[in-house]
Amino acid sequence: MIFSLAVYSAPYSSQASYSAYQFALALLNQGHSLHRIFFYQDGVHNATNLAAPPQDEFNLQQSWQALAKQHNLDLVVCIAAGLRRGILDSGEANRYDKHSHNIAEEFTISGLGQLIEATVASDRLISFGN
């Protein structure tokens, strides 16, 4: 079965994105395919490369990156939601004249249409958070 996931809540504040990560692991382990993980609303904070949780805590941002690398996943951050919350790639940082950017490797910034495209292309869309 083809799945896509939508993540709507920030890491740490909410369990939702940790549940999304575990759901992604479980479905991949069972041999399903994962078309896309779309990060929207406060879920865009999953994509920052500036989070520095204590060493004895699970690092979700790094775990997303490792999972994406291993399974060649499409991790997409909504551009409008990201810009409003200060999640930028180098292109957007240039466009808005910001001195730095913070999107982690393996994540890409794209439009909200990618959530709809993922819905259309998948048998199941599973939402996490909010």
Partner 1 sequence: MQKKILLISRRAPYGNSTAREALDTALAASVYDQDISVLFMDDGVFQLLKNQHSQLIDQKNIASTIPALPLYGIENIYVHQNSMDERAISIEELVLDEIKMLNDDDVKHLLNQQDHLLSF
Catalytic residues: 78
Indicate if the alpha-carbon torsion angle 113, 75, 40, 20 is positive or negative: positive
- Binding segment for partner 1 (CB under 8 A), chosen from 10-18, 49-57, 87-95, 112-120, is 112-120
Closest separation in Å from C-beta 70 to partner 1: 27
Residues in 26-55 that interact with partner 1 by CB under 8 A: 40-41
| Cβ-based neighbours of 128, under 8 Å, separated by 6 or more | 5, 6, 7, 8, 9, 16, 17, 19, 20, 23, 43
Closest separation in Å from C-beta 17 to partner 1: 16
Does position 79 interact with partner 1 (CB under 8 A)? The reply is: no
The first and second tokens of residue 23, run together, are 């759901």
- Binding segment for partner 1 (CB under 8 A), chosen from 21-29, 53-61, 64-72, 119-127, is 119-127
Closest separation in Å from C-beta 112 to partner 1: 4
Kind of pairing between the strands at 124-128 and 2-7: parallel
DSSP string for 22-55: HHHHHHHHTT-EEEEEEE-GGGGGGGBS-----T
- Binding segment for partner 1 (CB under 8 A), chosen from 13-21, 45-53, 92-100, 109-117, is 109-117
CA distance 110 to 92: 11
Closest separation in Å from C-beta 62 to partner 1: 27
Positions in the binding site for partner 1 (CB under 8 A)? 6, 8, 40-41, 80-81, 111-113, 115-117, 119-120, 125, 127, 130
